Structure 1
Amino acid sequence: MLLGLTVIAVGAFIGWQWFVPNGKHVVPVFDQVNPIIHKGEVMNQGAIVEGESIKLPLEAVRQLLGSEEPIRYEPESESIILTTQDKVIHLKTDALTATMNQKPFELSFAAEKVGDNVFLPIAPLEELFGLQTEYDEETSIVTVRLPGESVQRAAVQAEEAAIRSEPTIKAPISEALLKGAVVRIWGEQEGWYRVQGPAGYIGFMKKSDVAISDIETVEEPARKKPFIAWKLYGQRINLTWEAVYSRNPDTSQIGELSGVNVVSPTWFELVDGKGKIRSKADADYVSWAHRKEMQVWALFSNSFEPDLTTEALSSYERRLNMIKQLLSYSQMYKIQGINIDFENVYPKDKENLVQFVRELTPLLHEQGLVVSIDVTPKSNSEMWSVFLDREALGKVVDYMMVMSYDEHWAASPKSGSVASLPWVERSIVRILEEDDVPAGKLLLGIPLYTRIWTEAEGENGEIKVSSKAVGMESIEALLEEKKLKPEYDPQTGQNYVEYEEDGALQRIWLEDETSIEARIQLVKKYDLAGIATWQRGFQKESVWGVMDDALQSRP
């Protein structure tokens, strides 16, 4: 009997212990002095809090915002650049002066560098990204929330309730709450909610202790209306490049350019590593274009000089130098856009080129200027293709011209089409699918020239290949002179002709009405923004009307 009573007593004590909640209070321990909590998770780095000043580590901000909202730090000048679609903020560590879109922007607290870490004040992060912070003085916890984020909230309905470290009543109490206190719910587990309490601690509460209330959503910051790059609704872009080598063309000799609504003269080029730009802009050309109701998107090239490009893109100050000049020239000559044509660039400069475009675009948009960039079809060529981050650039620019030509280039070891139709289509599809560039931003680049290929037998019996680029009228004259009749080549989607001359085989894949119409059908098939032709002067006059009719017709 004594043994039985003992067993009952022990069992009762164990049962009582099992059902009695743990009343012990513990203070959660963090690895950081001022831990940062986002969506119920503690981030790897902590904040700096001094009085009213809250500063977040740069890497934590990057993690929060992701690559869509870039933050750049340049240690050489200790510059920090924050960019969005319509704003560029520049600040430096230990400085209260900053700029927003080149205008003064005063800071109450400066960015600072502690060891290898850079910490950013909240003010510019709130201004640009709408990032919100809450700080609890007792727990030293900084809670961060981003625009558009939503979370379910609940109110304590019991007279007293506890947030515990684990989903069990035997776990110690992290935070004790009274009736009416509000918590955020970040998940649930076996009859418990995973919550964040008013003091910032993360833990678990019994579902029966709270009642679901409302959903809390962080409002999006006020933004300017999106920049509208193309206002000719229902009309596709029909751009042609005007190659200006030494002097501008005599506009009285150009002709009508039927259907062309944008001209892009090659006026601006990089001349040194500090970002100096040479201009060949011509006010008379602009006036002529405007009288013809054409916009002018002046081309800015890096002169295809990789070393100059590296230097000019290397720092905020040099990039800003280029931007200021482009803004000044645009206002001076009353042009409507800038077309960026950077080629022959080291792959190491990929990120710097994207950063330049990110800093350039908001400032040009502020002046009503369209921003476009020329890209090659994707290939393994490091200096002509790999350096282009088409996906990142496509998120920033208004338009991207795909230079779909030189499938077989001037010094190609094999003769072939400048741009066969299947190759052109693959080039477009890869950028649409692999780089997620919207179809409404893409312009299909169309060559107005072709190459006459010469295949001659060399001393060792090998076939030597050479070529020369010629315009459409020259090819027509050649065909007439030699009484040649081209035949349609279904593999390239072009007319083709060959003939013997001086013991060598001459081969030509023609650019003509047939190839032009086939390319424009691709524009319609993939619903692209329009076309860009290289270059005015290579075409025959009748082609302008063919392009206009094919491009603007519906469907």
Structure 2
Amino acid sequence: MIGKQKHVRLPAVSFLLISLTLAALFTSTPQGPALAQSAGNPIHIRIAAEESPYANVLLDMSPVQFPVKPYVENGTTMVPLRALGEAVGAKIGWDEANRAATYSKGGLTLIITIGKPTITASDGRPISMPEPATLLDGNTMVPVRLFTELLGYQVSWDEHTRTVHILSPKEHVRLWGFYALGSISYSSWQDVFGAKYPLSADDCPAQQMDGVFLGWFAIGKHGKVTSEHNSTGFQKPDGWPSVILEARWHGMKVFSMYFADEQSDISSLLDDPTALHSLARDIAATSAEYDGVLIDFEGLGLDEATADRDRQNLNEFLTALRSLLEDKPLSVALPPLDSPFTGYDHEYIGNVADFVVLMAYNYQERNNPSPVAPFEQVDKAIRQEIEIMGPEKVILGVPAYGALYTIAEDGQASIRALPPSKDGLTGLPEYPNAPGLDADPQARNAFPVFVPEYLCNYVEWEGEDASYKAYLEDTLSLKTRVLMAKRYGLKGVAVWRLGFLPDNW
């Protein structure tokens, strides 16, 4: 239960005012306590200060999961080697006889012997360490700066919050988007092609994107595929051929996406062998003019009584569809492994599909203020998925919307809106009665702050009759999520959805 609060101040928290551009944030050399400096708009970051001798570690603005707390020894921040290696994509080995660990990435291999002041590189040269490696609760602790800078990462230290900021080398991450449910206010076309339909800007996001999932097909209750007007909203927009032509002109792949949920009675449809194979044939036929297929059948396995049957039926359906599509790529949208939807055989799907889209978002709770896709849940979802299938088969789904909550006088919280990232909290066309930072005079002194644990911005303010909490997505949070996909070597990211993104995203 969350009570009514006014100007809440959390203990041991620092607000860093960082003036930077996004390009500087992720590619420039860190300077001083800020990640980087340039003449961009200020970004406010909330980081809970650690107490000596411990330290925070952020990689590309996101936390890193460590089994024991990093600590500072004689001015050197020591971290567990294996967890660091997982975060930067290095392979870790252990030689018990020699009490030595190996750290390998690319063409670099390092041998670290416990207690020795030097490490040995693969070419035989010794490298001095500011502090020797040591064991702590079974973890090999090493200097974080040395072991990241050797791989081309940039490192800075913020004394105020005792935080190590690590920035990864610039690297291309494949970007996809969901082209679906668009409107005049939230135009998918404009987010992709940089201008109002039917125009296209010279320097538009399409030039940097791998492809789009066209959410233009839904499964009806009787198992028929439709692209016409229907209750789900997944239908072909006016001028849809122009989308395909323009996307291909920019070198993008266009996948037809097929949506079904409880309205389609998809569980029962897949339980009917005749309907199952008929649906597979319909999807194969309607996908003929597209470069690939994305299956988005949602809600399977929520009922434990049918979960096993749902898994078996979906496997049979995907096998049949795979055969009909021949060489055309097949992809599947999947909920995280720890979701309540257990009707998906992730291992089998990872084998039959060319890749999956991991929908690691929509974690917000209806009556408990919470972010849409916080670090802990997203990180767990990624780790669990890549244990089942290789990271090269996983595209990370990322949200382009946040969550706004109202907290009543009695402390009862309720979700009020899911504000698109392009709006923030200033003018919400789809939520005309929702309070905004521009409309509420009580909110004039409130400003969003980026919270690494949330992977998004957070703001709260006091209204006349209630208080408000909001978790907001923007260009910074999108870039942070993209870099999480890069951290784990994933196939790419897919934004849900196009039309919600801010200008110049």
Shorter-normalised TM range: 0.5 to 0.7
Q: Please, which of 413, 416, 424 is the counterpart of residue 475 of structure 1?
A: 424
Q: Which consecutive residues of structure 1, in runs of 5 or more, have no partner in the other structure?
A: 1-233, 544-555
- Post-superposition Cα deviations, 1:419-459, rounded to whole Å, max 9, x if no partner, equal 112221111111222xx1110000111101111111112xx
- Report the Cα offset of residue 236 of structure 1: 4.2
- Name 2:329's counterpart in structure 1: 370
Matched, 1:452 2:407: no
Q: Which amino acid aligns with 2:367?
A: P
Aligned to 2:503: 541
Taking the aligned partners of 2:381 and 2:494, their CA distance within structure 1 comes to 15
- The question of 1:424 aligning with 2:378 is answered yes
For the residue of structure 1 that corresponds to 2:481, the secondary structure is helix
The offset of 1:288, in angstroms, is 2.2
Whole-angstrom CA distance in 1 between matches of 2:397 and 2:379: 11
SS in 1 for 2:352: coil
Alignment of 1:85-96 (within 5 A): none
Match of 1:265 in 2: 214
Q: Give the AA of the match of 2:356.
A: M
Unaligned runs of 5+ in 2: 1-170, 190-196, 228-234, 302-306, 427-435
Cα distance in 1 between the residues matched to 2:338 and 2:407: 26
Q: Which has the larger radius of gyration?
A: 1
Question: 2:462 corresponds to which residue?
Answer: 500
Offset at residue 245 of structure 1 (A): 7.0
How far apart are the structure 2 equivalents of 1:488 and 1:285? Answer: 35
Deviations 1:337-383 (A, max 9, x none): 1111011224231210111111111321x2x42111111123352xx
Percent sequence identity is 24
Residue 257 of structure 1 aligns with an amino acid whose one-letter code is P
Say if 1:314 and 1:352, in contact at 8 Å, map to a contact too. yes
The aligned residue for residue 338 of structure 1 is 293
Structure number with higher strand proportion: 1
Q: Deviation at 1:501?
A: 1.8
Q: Hey, what's the Cα distance between the residues in 1 that align with 2:182 and 2:269? A: 22
Which structure's relative contact order is higher, taking Cα pairs within 8 Å and 6+ residues apart? 2
Q: 1:294 aligns with which of 242, 252, 255?
A: 252
Is 1:317 matched with 2:274?
A: yes
Secondary structure of the residue that 1:340 maps to in structure 2?
strand
From the superposition, tell whether residues 296 and 425 of structure 1 become closer, same or farther in structure 2 (CA, over 3 Å): same
Partner of 2:479: 517
RMSD across aligned C-alpha pairs, in angstroms? 2.5
CA–CA distance in 2 between the matches of 1:419 and 1:249?
A: 22
Partner of 1:305: 263
Q: Deviations over 1:387-442 (max 9, x none)?
A: 11111111111111111111114xx2201111112221111111222xx1110000
Tell me, yes or no, if structure 1 residue 389 matches structure 2 residue 389.
no
Question: In the alignment, which residue of structure 2 is the partner of 1:119?
Answer: none
Partners of 1:253 and 1:476 in 2: how far apart?
28
Change (3 A) 1:476 1:466: closer
- Equivalent AA in structure 1 for residue 324 of structure 2: L
Q: Which AA in structure 2 matches 1:414?
A: N
Counterpart residue number, 1:155? none
Distance change in 2, residues 1:311/1:487 (3 Å): closer
Give the partner amino acid of 2:398. Answer: I
- What is the CA distance between 1:294 and its match in structure 2? 1.4
Q: Which residue of 2 aligns with 1:442?
A: 394
Q: Provide the aligned length of Structure 1 versus Structure 2.
A: 294
Spell out, residue by residue over 1:147-195, the C-alpha distance to the aligned partner (whole angstroms, 9 max, x if none). xxxxxxxxxxxxxxxxxxxxxxxxxxxxxxxxxxxxxxxxxxxxxxxxx
CA offsets per residue over residues 211-243 of structure 1, 9 Å max, x none? Answer: xxxxxxxxxxxxxxxxxxxxxxx9643110012
**1:276 is aligned to 2:231:** no
Q: CA deviation at 1:318?
A: 2.2
| Separation (CA, whole Å) in 2 of partners of 1:379 and 1:253 | 43
Q: CA deviation at 1:464?
A: 3.3
Larger deviation, residues 251-260 vs 534-543: 251-260
Equivalent pair of 2:173/2:486 in contact (CA under 8 Å): no
1:350 and 2:311 aligned? yes
Structure 2 match to 1:360: 321
User: Is the Cα contact below 8 Å between 1:421 and 1:519 reproduced in 2?
Assistant: no
Q: In structure 1, what is the Cα distance between the partners aligned to 2:501 and 2:404?
A: 16
Shift of 1:534: 0.3
The SS at the match of 2:479 is helix
Q: TM-score, normalised by structure 2?
A: 0.54
